[in-house]
Structure 1
Amino acid sequence: MGYIIPAPTPEPEKLNTGRTRQWLANQELGTTGTALLENYFEEGGYVPPHCHRTEELLVCLEGHGQVMMNQQQYDFPAGSVAVIPPMTVHEVRNSGNGRMRMLAFFPEASPETIWMNDENRQ
């Protein structure tokens, strides 16, 4: 049986990397096989290097960014989708002027994040 997750979900979490994140759907909110995360980046905001055991899809909804995968940099403008294979070290940065908004989709309800540097856990 399907259901609606009412808005607002838990308060967005403002991080010291210039990123605000909010889980829109995950195990904590009742899903069993998928998760969806919304991120807002201030100018220069970023997600430090990390990886996941599952594939991740990133969708840039507005603004302009860069995605780094395995030390290779890719342009990430609004409307584009980044496909991050499992266990691929990656990071995301707002490289444009103004705010960048991005969705992250995971094919599991409680995706684990493996940070490359414990100091950067965010």
Structure 2
Amino acid sequence: MIAKPSGIGRTASAMYGRRSMRIVRGSDQLVEQRPSPLPTIQRLVSAATGSTQLTVLVNQLDAGDEVGSHTHDVEEVLYVVTGRCQVEAGDETAALHAGDAVVIPPGALHGFRHSGQPQATVVAVLASATAQTTWSQRPSREMPGIG
């Protein structure tokens, strides 16, 4: 017998009570100011907001801000909404601009940084509402920029 993943074949009302959707207002979610060089982050969607499958994080990066090397136990998509950033994953490096996205597989060591102006907005979508992060490097300003 093949088991269906949680939620497959269930109606929205079965998953969310009688509601077909759950609205999470950004204005209701805490924006966390973190010490430099970490970006400002808003945990928009997670288990805390009722999600059962995803985490959505909105990162606001000023010049020099970065998220150091880390891994997740699930797949992650980084989507650049505004500005640009440099992403490192494994032994690969890529410059991303507004409208670009990158898919990071589970367990891949990765990080990203912003060295330009103006501010960059990077949305991270993790394939779990309770994704686990393991840090291997604290951000440091010595890492080269994207030029």
TM-score computed with the length of structure 1 as normaliser: 0.90
The amino acid of 2:89's aligned partner reads M
Partner secondary structure for residue 8 of structure 1: helix
Asked if residue 90 in structure 1 is aligned to residue 91 in structure 2, the reply is no
Superimposed CA distance per residue, residues 49-106 of structure 1 (whole angstroms, 9 cap, x where no aligned partner): 0010100000000001100011321111111001101100000100322201010111
What is aligned with 1:20?
40
How many Å apart are 1:15 and its aligned residue?
1.5
Contact 1:9 1:23 in 2 (8 A): no
Q: Give the Cα separation in 2 of the matches to 1:6 and 1:76.
A: 27
Structure 2: gaps (5+ residues): 1-18, 140-147
Task: Give the number of equivalent residue pairs.
Answer: 119
Alignment of 1:12-51 (within 5 A): 12-16=31-35, 17-51=37-71
Asked if residue 101 in structure 1 is aligned to residue 135 in structure 2, the reply is no
- Please tell me the root mean square deviation across aligned C-alpha atoms, in Å: 1.5
Contact 2:30 2:43 in 1 (8 A): no
The percent identity for this pair of structures is 28
Q: Which has the higher strand share?
A: 1
Q: Indicate the larger mover: 17-26 or 3-12.
A: 3-12
What is aligned with 2:80?
60
Partner secondary structure for residue 108 of structure 1: coil
* Cα 1:115–1:18 shift into 2, 3 Å: closer
Q: Which has the higher contact order (CA 8 A, sep 6+)?
A: 1
What is aligned with 1:111?
131
Moved over 4 A (4+): none
Q: Give the Cα separation in 1 of the matches to 2:28 and 2:104.
A: 26
The amino acid of 1:73's aligned partner reads T
Superimposed CA distance per residue, residues 10-58 of structure 1 (whole angstroms, 9 cap, x where no aligned partner): 3211122240000111001111111111000010100010010100000
Structure with the greater alpha carbon radius of gyration: 2
Asked if residue 6 in structure 1 is aligned to residue 25 in structure 2, the reply is yes
